[in-house]
Amino acid sequence: MSTLVQNPAPEFSAKAVDGGKFRQVTLSEFKGKYVVLFFYPLDFTFVCPTEITAFSDKADEFAKRNCQVLGVSVDSHYTHLAWTNVPREQGGLGEIKYPLIADLTKSIARDYGVLIEGAGIALRGLFLIDKAGVVRHQLINDLPLGRSVDEAIRMLDALQFFETNGEVCPANWKPGSATIKPDPEGSKKYFEQCTK
């Protein structure tokens, strides 16, 4: 499996459930926005609804950062709709504030390198795509390991900080904490502060 980081995000067009309705979604319609594209294995499972609803609960945080969240699985748009019609307290999703994309042909998961070919389902892949359509971050978890939505927001913040300021973000960086000037002289200030 190769990385997509620093490469154009593979384009796709597929049916999705968005706001309780079916529509065709393409990646290119979000050009000029950041995109967090995440894959999950299957509808009506156990870890997946915790991630899908957690992303939905933070949809406003992503929107404030000019970022569109997109969820993808190999299920049909009909199955996505059925799952959103089941209340959360019964293991369903309820209302979701971003499109859930149907990848019935498995081509999107394959193009992003997360398809488990024999099982025909996707690993828990997450891709941060910049405004120009380039993948800037990817994370792939095995099936039983849920992702952190807060970490996805932190990575988006770090990318946007770098793009705005030209300074790089060290380990565990959060907005408001120290950054590093990416040159031998400029970086000394950061490292001097860290050793005190």
Quick one: pLDDT band at residue 187, thresholds 50, 70, 90?
Answer: confident
Residue with tokens 């488990």: 116
Q: Nearest-CA neighbor of 14 among 97, 142, 112, 93?
A: 112
Distance between CA atoms of 173 and 175, rounded to whole angstroms?
Answer: 7
Phi/psi of residue 163, nearest 5 degrees: -60, -35
* pLDDT tens digits, 42-99: 999 999 999 999 999 999 999 999 999 999 999 999 999 999 999 999 889 999 999 9
Residue with tokens 């993808």: 72
48: annotated active-site residue = yes
Phi/psi of residue 2, nearest 5 degrees: -100, 160
Q: Nearest-CA neighbor of 99 among 130, 71, 63?
A: 71
pLDDT at 1 over 70: no
